[in-house]
Amino acid sequence: MEKFIEYFSNIEQAVTVVAILAGTILLAIIVKRAFSGFIKRSSGELDNDPTNYKFLQHALVAVIYLSGFSFAFWNIPLLQHIAQTALAGAGILAIAVGFASQQALGNVISGIFIVMFKPYRINDRILVRTDLRGIVEDINLRHTVIRNFENQRIIIPNSVISNEVLVNSNFEDDKICKFVDIGISYSSDIDLARKIITEEAEAHPHCIDNRAPEDIKNGIPKVTVRVVMFAESSVNLRAWVWAADPQSAFVMGCDLNEAIKKRFDAEGIVIPFPQRTISYLEKEK
């Protein structure tokens, strides 16, 4: 305590330490805002990928804080003396720190690999573990942040998500083939049902033509509708409808379910629902 009082009586040294700490915090804020502004300005550019910039931003801010605080502490003579005294046990300390930081170091390395090989990027729509679905919001040194469709944040360590099998709806190509599955009764007209589904799908504004020139030349339809199954109480039809991106595909699927149901009702196509017949056995007399 006396050494601390003696040290901080030296105003010049105290001001130096405070200036270093303040400069470190100020520099980190400037770098963070500069990167955020650059990412925001370039977000409207075609094929712009902010993943590298965001990760570099987190890495630079971490280096600035680590370097600045280390330099500030080194300017405190008492801490210098403690560090020199502890140098003899540095080997044991390094081993202990190494074991303790294995998981943290693994997250950093996994984050670097994610940024390098890009299995997913910021703003990609991904599915992890069959139930974690959302849009990648951030990739930092420790974890990946996913915003689900209820506006909640799913935080997954980089070392965990890098070992998971995931579905990326935006990898290489944003176009989505939306399956529209509808069952009709066995007594309904299949050809009429196919005609209704095709007309409603092709008329939707989000429906795109994904056919190659050869497909158009060979007469392949823009929307294909086929019978895929004879179920217990229905004939199941499936339409393959293309959309430009996952968001448009979801909206289109919802709209087509409603539009096709209304057309079926108007034109006498029955969509069956589960029914159960109960028989009562009479007691023998």
- Burial of 131 by CB count in 10 Å (0-12 exposed, 13-18 middle, 19+ buried)? exposed
Do residue 185 and residue 158 come from a single domain?
no
Quote the pLDDT of residue 263.
Answer: 96
Quick: pLDDT tens for 226-276: 999 999 889 999 999 999 999 999 999 999 999 999 999 999 999 998 777
Asked whether residue 45 is domain-assigned, the answer is: yes
Band of pLDDT at residue 152, cut at 50, 70 and 90: very high
Predicted TM-score (pTM) above 0.75: no
Distance CA 110, CA 159 (A): 5
Last residue of a domain, one of 100, 130, 158: 100
CA distances from 133 to 3, 126, 173 (A): 56, 6, 18
Asked whether residue 160 is domain-assigned, the answer is: yes
Do residue 11 and residue 77 come from a single domain?
yes
Asked whether residue 274 is domain-assigned, the answer is: no
Distance CA 257, CA 182 (A): 8
Asked whether residue 111 is domain-assigned, the answer is: no
Do residue 11 and residue 61 come from a single domain?
yes
Asked whether residue 113 is domain-assigned, the answer is: no
Number of domains the chain is built from: 3
Looking at residues 49-62, what average pLDDT do you find? 77
Last residue of a domain, one of 43, 65, 100: 100
Q: ∠137-138-139 over CA atoms, to 5°?
A: 145
- Provide the residue range defining the domain that includes 217: 176-267
Asked whether residue 272 is domain-assigned, the answer is: no
Q: How many residues does the chain have?
A: 285
Do residue 55 and residue 124 come from a single domain?
no
Assigned token pair, 95: 């081993």
| Mean pLDDT estimate for the chain | 83
Band of pLDDT at residue 151, cut at 50, 70 and 90: very high
Which three-class secondary structure string do you get for the chain? CHHHHHHHCCHHHHHHHHHHHHHHHHHHHHHHHHHHHHHHHHCCCCCCCCHHHHHHHHHHHHHHHHHHHHHHHHCCHHHHHHHHHHHHHHHHHHHHHHHHCHHHHHHHHHHHHHHHHCCCCCCCEEEECCCEEEEEEEECCCEEEEECCCCCEEEEEHHHHCCCCEEECCCCCCCEEEEEEEEECCCCCHHHHHHHHHHHHHHCCCCCCCCCHHHHHCCCCCCEEEEEEECCCCEEEEEEEEECCHHHHHHHHHHHHHHHHHHHHHHCCCCCCCCCCCCCCCCCC
User: What phi and psi, each to the nearest 5 degrees, are found at residue 223?
Assistant: -120, 125
Asked whether residue 42 is domain-assigned, the answer is: yes
pLDDT at 98 over 70: no
Asked whether residue 133 is domain-assigned, the answer is: yes
Distance CA 223, CA 208 (A): 9
Distance CA 227, CA 223 (A): 14
Do residue 66 and residue 10 come from a single domain?
yes
Identify the weakest region by mean pLDDT among 25-34, 96-105, 204-213, 245-254.
96-105
Q: What contacts 35, CB < 8 A, 6 or more positions away?
A: 53, 54, 56, 57, 60
Do residue 129 and residue 196 come from a single domain?
no
Assigned token pair, 258: 């409603």
User: What share of the chain in percent tops pLDDT 90?
Assistant: 47
Do residue 96 and residue 9 come from a single domain?
yes
Do residue 263 and residue 186 come from a single domain?
yes
Angle, helices 51-74/77-85, rounded to nearest 10 degrees = 100
Do residue 185 and residue 244 come from a single domain?
yes
CATH of the domain at 252: 3.30.70.100
Do residue 7 and residue 93 come from a single domain?
yes
CATH of the domain at 124: 2.30.30.60
Looking at residues 7-23, what average pLDDT do you find? 72
Do residue 160 and residue 195 come from a single domain?
no
Quote the pLDDT of residue 46.
Answer: 45
Do residue 155 and residue 205 come from a single domain?
no
